[in-house]
Amino acid sequence: MTSSMPHVALLAGGISDERSVSLSSCTGIADVLRARGHEVTFIDVGPDITQTIAALKAARPDVVFNGLHGRFGEDGAIQGVLEWLGLPYTHCGIRASSLAMDKAATRLVLQAAGLPIANGKMVPIQDLAAADPMPAPYVVKPSDEGSSVGVSIVRVGSNQRAEIARQWRFGPEALVEEFIPGRELTVAVMGDRALTVTDIQANTETFYDFEAKYSAGGSTHRVPADIHPEAFEAALSYALTAHRALGCVGATRTDFRYDDTKGNGPGRLTILEVNTQPGMTETSLLPEQAAYCGISYQDLCGWIVDDALNRARTRQARHTHA
């Protein structure tokens, strides 16, 4: 007896620095989709894309759950492969994925939409090695990595700058932005709904880096965030506006810095980035916010699959009646 539920091909792993994160997320996703009644084909994506294509063709799924993170997984690359194969897939399409992965391009789109971004610029690595590109403290980050990979803070009196430049492996330029004091906030969006605001407190001496994000006890999440009500509502609005401005669909997560260090007012909100492939372990930020809103982890995974199928059906209907 075969399941009447759609057959899902789950893309996991990948070849970015976030491979382990993806594999961890996808193990849980596979379990809950199977519990929901889906046939799930788990595809561990490696460096040979022809093997992934062959696995997808052999599986002949109804929909692909894109569980990849980082380069080639959320930058439009795998989305292009899936479009070529004519397979419906979860999360954002080629253009939105590519835009959101490129922090410099994202800054331009968000700025054009009237959204708050940090003061910053792209800087050639040799210029960073030679001198401070802006007054310290400032943040140095790759333009096209996720999960805080390659992010450093250069503080006043620090001798880090030359060492960061010497070890840089993310291309000829770095994005340099002002360091904004305060807290790290995030807002998840599902479709046309911003869920809530989470206050992320890193339990490390640095900032909300890769270790704080993915190590046990690395951070504490307060849901909902205890912040000024005007800032809370603004964060929800900004996240939904950013989601739409970039052309995103499905589930995304927008990360903010929130400076409330100067008094009792609403403070300053600044968008850091928009994540088109949010982490999907049961304790990740998106599932955590969904649970707060009464959406179980199983229902969240199911919604992501159903959303992808509904978009594919709508697109097919448009082509049929064109």
**Is 144 buried (19+), middle (13-18) or exposed (0-12) by CB count in 10 A?**
buried
Distance, CA of 306 to CA of 312 (rounded, Å): 10
* Residue 36 tokens, joined: 């929901």
307 flagged as catalytic: no
CA 112 to chain centre: 21
Specify the amino acid at residue 208: Y
Annotated catalytic residue: which of 146, 275, 302, 307? Answer: 275
Is 143 catalytic? The answer is no
Q: What span, in angstroms and rounded, lies between the C-alpha atoms of 114 and 190? A: 22
> Looking at 62, 75, 144, 255, which residue is catalytic?
255
Q: Taking the CA of residue 198 as centre, how many other CA atoms within 13 Å lie in the half-sphere pointing to its CB?
A: 26
Secondary structure letter of residue 217 according to DSSP: T
Of 19, 71, 107, 253, catalytic? 253
Active site residue 255: yes
Active site (annotated) includes residue 147: yes
Distance CA 39, CA 33 (A): 8
Say which of 62, 173, 177, 273 is annotated catalytic. Answer: 273
Task: With beta carbons less than 8 A apart as the criterion, state whether 33 and 12 touch.
Answer: no
Active-site hit among 24, 97, 147, 152 = 147
Quick check: is 279 catalytic? yes
Active site residue: 28, 67, 267, 279, which one? 279
Q: Which residues pair with 194 in a beta bridge?
A: 189
| Catalytic option among 13, 14, 16, 18 | 18
**Catalytic machinery residues:** 18, 147, 214, 253, 255, 273, 275, 279
